[in-house]
């Protein structure tokens, strides 16, 4: 009787590597989700505190206050967009790995 996986050269190693990568990606997604959530909260605070910007920063004019706030919001929004894009890329990689693993299991 053949041992499980012995008929596909390297299958056990490839499955172990795929599982490990899956775990790494899953952990990364959790970290990125937490970071995105933290940045969203910061953005909410900034949005809610737009009227209180004078307490944090004391620009010379209202125009400078608006510019500083707009720049900060744009930076935060861009960081969130980048994290969300990275998360989507990671989710795609996970789906691809899952399909590959399923294919290996079906062919085993």
b/e map of 14-36 (b: 16 or more CB within 10 Å)? ebeebeeeeeebeeebeeeeeeb
Give Cα 103 to chain centroid, integer Å.
26
| pLDDT over 70, % of the chain | 72
Residue 66 has what pLDDT? Answer: 66
What would the pLDDT profile of 63-83 be if each residue is shown by its tens digit?
666 666 777 778 888 888 888
């Amino acid at each position: 009787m053949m041992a499980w996986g012995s008929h596909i050269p390297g299958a056990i190693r490839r499955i172990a590597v795929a599982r490990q990568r899956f775990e790494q990606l899953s952990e990364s997604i959790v970290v990125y989700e937490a970071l995105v959530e933290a940045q969203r909260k910061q953005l909410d605070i900034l949005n809610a505190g737009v009227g209180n910007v004078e307490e944090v920063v004391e620009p010379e004019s209202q125009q400078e206050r608006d510019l500083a706030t707009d720049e900060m919001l744009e930076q935060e929004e861009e960081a969130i967009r980048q994290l969300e894009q990275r998360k989507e890329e990671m989710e795609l990689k996970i789906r691809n790995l899952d399909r590959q693993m399923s294919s290996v299991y079906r062919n085993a």
